[in-house]
Structure 1
Amino acid sequence: MTRLQVMELGHPVLRRVAKPITEARRTSLQPLMDQLIQTAQQANGVGIAAPQVGISERLFIVASRPTPRYPHAPVMEPTVMINPQIVSHSAERVKDWEGCLSVPGVRGLVPRYQAIAVEYTDRYGQHQHQELTDFVARIFQHELDHLNGILFIDRVESTQDLISEQDYQERIVGASWSTEK
């Protein structure tokens, strides 16, 4: 299976609102779902949205696991989410670092809801409802933004909250690793 090409900052598809998927079980979606999972894994991503590979449809993958980009991420099975939405959220918002396969080399300190209730259709056409918190809630919100033409750099409160990937790895990840040893 081939890894899909990830569209980068500046590509117009990343700024479009994606179209709803009317038939979640259509056969052409199944290979795309598998390719999205593989693309995220090969790129050390913890999520990926269809618009990131040039397909303007409301579909993304949440696939949290420790990677070189997110060494402290919790482990979960990759989850396909079709026509996802947030149905409720906590009042509390938490700022944390995010990166994006479509914005290589940059990290931003982004405020997100700490807890969310979500609904979506899974890859088998079944309606799902879940409560998500912390890092997995952050991934969901980040990927949902992709479906609405929003990038994480649009969510930072100040340009002071943007750093290079190299600085992030050295100062943030390196510091957190050294305090745990």
Structure 2
Amino acid sequence: MTTSPRSCTPSLCLALVLPLVAAACHADGGLTPAEIEHLRQRARSAIATTLSVDIPEQRIRLEQPSRPIAPDNPALSALLADMRGTVRAMHGLGLAAVQIGVPVRVALLRREAGGEFQAFLNPQRVAASTQRLGSWERCLSVPWGYRYTERPAHLTIRYQTPDGAERRETLSGTEAVVFQQELDHLDGTLLSSGHDPRWFIPKDGMAGFLAEVGCADLENADCQARARAHWQARAKAARP
């Protein structure tokens, strides 16, 4: 059994990531005409929002696996501009293209050094550590608040850059946690998958939850363990 060395704060673990008619994948990795029009509509209306699991037709789109995209796709620059504008406006650390209604395998991650959003095309998991990291994660496509997770603390990925270069990189800590949530999005898995709202602490209720636990420092291992146990007991007690 592995143990988590620490728990990140809710602000660090925030991983943020419009209706669209699904269409068949183009053999060349291109965006469909409906998707290109979708991006144009968003640009004209300055939309900065994500799909939500609380809207049934949007949840269906969020749960569909995303398809690969070619780096030379002519609509890629518009997609990345929309994604960067959205994730900045929503104060997120990461975003998957499907969260703005375009189901292609593109994800953004804010790098801890410099705060810039790096684009990852067609990312794939290569390896993950056995060491786990406990975190209170939140996703704006699941507006229910925070859920406790334990994910690999180190993640090795392979991906393409927007200019077509092949890269391999190992992410650690908060970056690894955030990017794993984006990879889940690309596979159609949500922070809410297999859970319901009772497993989440409302985003404006975290202070009250920690007061119930009797500690406020989630970087403290004892506080982390107590918060996790209280979260599990609270969720189970809420079962119908």
When normalised by structure 2's length, the TM-score is 0.63
Residue 142 (structure 2) aligned to one of 103, 114, 118: 103
- Structure of greater Rg: 2
- Tell me the residue number matched to 2:216: 175
- Aligned mate of 1:8, from 52, 56, 61: 52
Could you say what the CA RMSD is over the residues aligned between the two structures, in angstroms?
2.5
Residue of structure 1 in register with 2:8 after alignment: none
| Runs of 4 or more above 3 Å deviation | 158-161, 169-172
State the match for 1:34 in structure 2: 81
Aligned-residue offset at 1:31: 1.3
The residue type paired with residue 123 of structure 2 is: P
Deviations 1:53-73 (A, max 9, x none): 1111111111256xxxxxxxx
Q: Write the distance in 2 (CA, Å) between the matches of 1:19 and 1:94.
A: 29
Segment of structure 1 superposing worse, 34-43 or 2-11: 2-11
Aligned residues: 167
Q: Indicate the SS of the match to 2:141.
A: coil
What is the aligned partner in structure 2 of residue 25 from structure 1?
Answer: 72
- Residue 130 (structure 1) aligned with residue 174 (structure 2): no
More strand by proportion, 1 or 2? Answer: 1
> How much identity, in percent, do the aligned residues show?
26
Q: Name 2:204's counterpart in structure 1.
A: 166
- Give the aligned residue type for 2:190: L
Rounded Cα–Cα distance in structure 2 between residues aligned with 1:154 and 1:105: 12
Deviation sequence 1:49-104 (CA, Å, 0-9, x none): 11111111111111256xxxxxxxx7532110110011011011222111111112
Deviation by residue 1:9-35 (Cα, 9 ceiling, x = unmatched):
0321110011111x2121211111011
Whole-Å separation in 1 of the counterparts to 2:88 and 2:165: 24
**Matched residue of 2:62: which SS?**
helix
Of 41-50 and 100-109, the range deviating more from structure 2:
100-109
Question: Which of these residues, 118, 124, 127, is aligned with residue 88 of structure 1?
Answer: 127
Partner of residue 48, structure 1: 95
Normalising by the residue count of structure 1, what TM-score does the alignment of the two structures yield? 0.82
Q: Any unmatched runs of 5+ in structure 2?
A: 1-42, 221-240
